Amino acid sequence: MVTGVRLAVVGATGAVGRTIVRLLEERNVPVSSLGLFASRAHEHGIEFAGRTYPVHPVTAEALAAYDAVVFASSEDAGLSYAPSLVERGVVVVDNSAAFRLRDDVPLVVPGINDAALMPGVRLFPVANCTAIILSAALKPLRDAAGLRSVTVASYQAASGAGRAGLDELESGERALAEGRQDPPARVFAAPLARNVVPLVGEPDAEGWTVEERKVCAETRKILALPDLWIAATCVRVPVRTAHALAIVAETERRVASDDLAGCYRSAGHVVFHETGIVTPRDVEGTDLVHVARLRSVDDSGRHFALWAVGDQLRAGAAAPAVQLLERVLSAAEIGT
């Protein structure tokens, strides 16, 4: 029986890292020793379970002392440290895109594709936040009638760009409220306050952004539908921490709307709103994806539209990371 795990969190001072530390405490994860790391030491520590933990500069030697390491940092950190840690038998949960699409690495989203959690695996990428919310919303459809195609427009919160994104939104809102010109955009493609920016990341030669390609490729992998046709348009909106998605899906087989609603009601990984709406502000600080406005597009029984929202920091990043750690702990593969 696992009584405690020696756990390190890299990127602990960022928005996702701080949320992971908070969730570890909220969910009573059995942590016997906690190490908090960032690219540099920080003057102020981080609270966990009634005490303040210092934040140290990350090094390979320091991470080697832990049973598990959760990366809430850049791809560079994961690529630099994860391979050698895994070779030593350390469990790695990585929130970056570095390993998500590798054929030899499962992309597990707890509650959606738990069967992909294979024994003996030590490297667990956390999927893109938008792909997690999309996959959660699509799973009942896939299970009920298969999926042939998906068109999705995302409305992504400032927190998806980290603490810098939140700071830029807040400074812009404050400037406009005070009658001043908002500062020039540095994090986003255009000023975000009182605006909608239809570009998340830089477009490639074909006009698709890295974010849009991540959403499509990772959703296919999570849902085990490698040939699923998906088109995504990713949009940044002046919302703090919750993403929203407008989805239109075509199923492989006919399904009655009432039967499909029943599938959503019984799905444990989403909160289904049969009537009314749910907004990003409604779900801030929560760990589940919410689905609303499920409706038939036509009389075919194969075309449906729906709306999904989820807190980007929690449902789309920190909660899946902590839940992956919990599942590995429950398999008694790490800890003491």
Please compute Rg for the chain using Cα positions: 20
Beta bridge partners of 203: 209
Active site residue 44: no
| Lookup: tokens for 110 | 């707890």
Look at residues 245, 208, 215 and name the one whose alpha carbon lies nearest to residue 230. Answer: 215
Catalytic residue among 42, 56, 216, 243: 243
Q: What are phi and psi of 161, to 5 degrees?
A: -100, 15
| Lookup: tokens for 85 | 């840690």
Q: How far apart are CA 269 and CA 109, in angstroms?
A: 10
Catalytic residue among 129, 216, 234, 263: 129
Q: Which residue shows structure tokens 């969910």?
A: 27
Q: How far apart are CA 305 and CA 64, in angstroms?
A: 48
DSSP structural state of residue 209: B
Q: How far apart are CA 93 and CA 82, in angstroms?
A: 9
Q: How far apart are CA 94 and CA 82, in angstroms?
A: 8
Q: How far apart are CA 202 and CA 211, in angstroms?
A: 9
Q: Which residues are catalytic?
A: 129, 243
